[in-house]
A and B are shown apart, each in its own frame.
Chain A
Amino acid sequence: VPEAAGSASASTATAPAATPALAGPPAGFVAPPEPKPDETNAQRAKSQPGNNAPFWRAVRESGVNKGTSSLPGAEQGVLVQPFVQYPGSRYTNAGDAWRQVRNEWIIPYGGALIVITVLAIALYFFTRGPLGGHEPDTGRQIERFTYFERAAHWSNAIAFCVLAISGLVMAFGKFILLPLTGTTLFGWLTYALKTAHNLLGPLFAVSLLIVFFTFLKDNFPNASDMQWLRKGGGLFGGKEPPSGRFNAGEKLIFWGGVFFLGVIVVVSGLVLDKVIPGMAYQRGDMQIAHMVHGVATALMMAMFLGHIYLGTLGMKDAFKAMKTGHVDEGWAKEHHELWYEDIRAGRIPARRTAPDDRPGQPAAQV
């Protein structure tokens, strides 16, 4: 019997008389609340201990309401990228959504667009052959592009080609090149091309700007362009409708390709390159920039494939114009009749640069 313990301090065992043996809970003692669907995890821990549903919701939302991590970095607190639906993707985390857009849309359809464009051009070439050659050469040369214009164009064109090829390898190489080369060789090649792409991009941006302003003046649309367009530019039979220095097709390329797509490609490319100061470059930014870049570059490539075709195989002596800067009067008459007439009429100088020692005489002077 404990009370019988002989020590003097045994009295500690007996409860003080003042306190009732069983006091009920004091005022203010409340039972835990009922669980509610929109509780925070803290509230849920009280209402339904162990049910962490609110926490898992927070995990899903950590892309928006970031958690914390002791590591420095903008996105270290994100457990799962935010859930989004990009055009063409399902509603899922941004990483996977981006992957869906890229792998299910940009790569297949972008690739298809380019392949179709190439095929269409090939078909055109083999069925109809190159344009032009209906006007005989006169032997008289007109200056079409100054040295500066040509330099600007070609540096831009070369950069474009490198970017396009490297871009294409990045996008499609693994389906076409990789099986042929093996991983390491392909990796090395792609690494070189990718680095070139990254470094050349900003240069392309600069040259594109120059090209734009250089050719801006003669690319403003005018009345004749409607005419030209209505007749399909004579591409599908009939005589080529008269046009100014640049025809409506070229102007379309200029405004649609150089200006509109060019700006989009350049801006998105510079984002991907992380060279625009003051941006956070979080994954979401990169995904969007990439998708924009991917779509715009695909369109741009398709468009410029046409341009390149016409500038090389597709039109007799067009290439020479950009190469030498001079065209034969006959060529000018056939393809840019209004321009030719303006020159003849002296409304436009036939030569804007000092004469060089090139063969042939500027015809319009006569």
Chain B
Amino acid sequence: MARMKFICDADRCIECNGCVTACKAEHNVPWGVNRRRVVTLNDGAAGEKSISVACMHCSDAPCMAVCPVDCFYRTDEGVVLHDKDVCIGCGYCSYACPFGAPQFPSNGEFGLRGKMDKCTFCAGGPEANGSDAENAKYGRNRLSEGKLPACAEMCSTKALLGGDGDVVADIFRTRVLNRGKGSEVWGWGTAYGKPTQTSLATPTTGEKK
């Protein structure tokens, strides 16, 4: 069974925010809620690099572990989804998530945040695939249409790869071999634990150590 993962190749990402707006447009995500964002380190100085980050759909997901109402679930493909009907907007998932993925429509005064929203890996939510209800709450369900995440599909430089972990790792490995360079994969250590034999040729990860 495919295991969905994201890779963002920092040597390619040019901070064009294509992935960010692709997500906004595909799912009609409102102003202020950012399922995906791009972060640049060393901005404006030599060594500047950017990484696009959203929910990494962690293997041992901290958000899932702390949710007081257990509204998270994981699909067969390893996508971490949640049920907005159940969510109480407590914000715990956002405290726990290493990557800052969970988002809230409101600022949380008196703990009133509204229902959590986060990247769904374009896989919708618990409602019937492709239904109006699903679309209204979670946006499009691209996976059920046989498509991959809008952000990765539209990434301007193909820095952002999303899909079956083995396949994206393969693509990335090929690139790395071409470059003859290190094969650091953003966030994999944190999100998916230590890399397995199949996931990467050289098991150096950003999170290692």
Instruction: Identify the closest chain A residue to B45 (Cβ).
Output: A42
Interface majority SS (helix, strand, loop, mixed), chain A: helix
The reply on A56 being an interface residue by CB < 8 A is yes
Residue from the list B71, B95, B184 in contact with A283, Cβ < 8 A: B95
A80 and B37: CB pair below 8 A? no
Contact A178 B70, beta carbon cutoff 8 Å: yes
Q: Which of A71-113 contact B (CB under 8 A)?
A: 71, 75-81, 93-96, 98-99, 102-103
Say yes or no for A180: interface residue by CB 8 A criterion: no
CA distance A42 to B207 in the complex (A): 20
The one of B17, B39, B49, B65 that contacts A99, using a Cβ cutoff of 8 Å: B65
Tell me if A341 counts as interface (CB < 8 A to partner B).
no
Residues of chain A within 8 A (CB-CB) of B180 are: 50
A98 partner residues in chain B, CB cutoff 8 A = 66, 95-96
A80 touches B99 (CB 8 A): yes
Please state if A190 and B96 are interface contacts (CB–CB under 8 Å).
Answer: no
A273 within 8 A of B: yes
Q: Is the CB of B91 within 8 A of A286?
A: yes
B41 interface residue, CB < 8 Å from A? yes
How far does the Cβ of B161 sit from chain A's closest Cβ, in whole Å? 17
Q: Could you mark each residue 112-123 of chain B with 1 if its beta carbon is under 8 Å from any beta carbon of chain A, else 0?
A: 100000000000
Q: Mark A180-221, 1 if CB is under 8 A from B, else 0.
A: 000110110011001101110010000000000000000000
In the bound assembly, the distance between CA atoms of A62 and B53 in angstroms comes to 13
Q: Which residues of A contact B29 (CB under 8 A)?
A: none
Indicate if A320 sits at the interface (CB-CB under 8 A): no
Give complex CA distance A170, B111 in Å. Answer: 13
Q: A79-B39, A173-B69 are in contact. Are A191 and B98 (CB under 8 A)?
A: no
Stretch at the interface among B81-89, B133-141, B165-173: B81-89
Select A187's contact among B47, B65, B83, beta carbons within 8 Å: B83
Q: Given A41-B49, A80-B99, is A187 in contact with B88 using a C-beta cutoff of 8 Å?
A: yes
Chain A residues whose C-beta falls within 8 Å of the C-beta of B94 in the assembled complex? 283
A174 contacts B by Cβ under 8 Å: yes
Residues of B within 8 A of A169 (CB): 68
Q: Which of B34-56 contact A (CB under 8 A)?
A: 34, 37-43, 45-47, 49, 51, 53
Q: Cβ of A227 < 8 Å from any Cβ of B?
A: no
A58 to B186, alpha carbons, bound, how many Å?
12
Give which listed residue, A68, A78, A195, A275, contacts B100 with CB less than 8 A.
A78
Tell me if A52 is interfacial: C-beta within 8 Å of chain B: yes
- Is B68 touching A170 in the complex (CB atoms < 8 A)? yes
Interchain CB contact (< 8 A) of A71 among B34, B47, B209 = B34
Which of these, B11, B38, B70, B95, contacts A52 with CB under 8 Å?
Answer: B11
User: What residues on B are CB-neighbors of A51 within 8 Å?
Assistant: 181-182
Per the CB 8 Å criterion, the residue count for chain A at the interface is 65
A50 engages B39 (CB within 8 Å): no
How far apart sit A166 and B43, CA to CA, in the bound complex (Å)? 45
1/0 per residue, CB under 8 A from B, across A280-317: the answer is: 01010011001000000000000000000000000000
Residue contact B95 to A59, C-beta cutoff 8 Å: no
B152-209 residues with Cβ-Cβ distance < 8 A to A are 179-182, 184, 186-187, 190, 206-207, 209
Contact partners of A184 in chain B: CB under 8 A: 83, 85-86
Quick check: is A263 within 8 A (CB to CB) of the other chain? no
Task: Report A-chain residues with C-beta under 8 Å of the C-beta of B68.
Answer: 169-171, 173-174, 190, 194
**Within 8 Å CB of B70, what residues of A?**
174, 178, 183
* Per-residue B-contact encoding for A137-160, CB less than 8 Å = 1, 0 else: 000000000000000000000000
Known: A69-B37, A170-B90. A81 touches B98 (CB 8 A): yes
CA distance A182 to B112 in the complex (A): 24
Cβ contacts under 8 Å, B190 to chain A: 80, 93, 96
Chain A residues whose C-beta falls within 8 Å of the C-beta of B40 in the assembled complex: 67-69, 77
Known A-B contacts A52-B182, A174-B68, A187-B85; A274 and B98 likewise in contact (beta carbons under 8 Å): no
Quick one: given A42-B42, A60-B207, A78-B100, are A53 and B83 in contact (CB under 8 Å)?
Answer: no
Contacts of B111 in A (CB 8 A): 194-195, 197-198, 272-274
| A287 CB contacts on chain B under 8 angstroms | 95
23 residue pairs from A and B, CB less than 8 Å apart:
A42-B45, A52-B11, A52-B49, A52-B182, A55-B10, A59-B41, A59-B206, A60-B206, A76-B100, A78-B39, A80-B98, A80-B207, A94-B98, A95-B95, A96-B98, A103-B65, A170-B68, A174-B70, A187-B87, A194-B88, A198-B110, A275-B109, A275-B110
B residues engaging A (CB < 8 A)? Answer: 10-11, 17, 34, 37-43, 45-47, 49, 51, 53, 62, 65-71, 83, 85-92, 94-100, 107-112, 179-182, 184, 186-187, 190, 206-207, 209
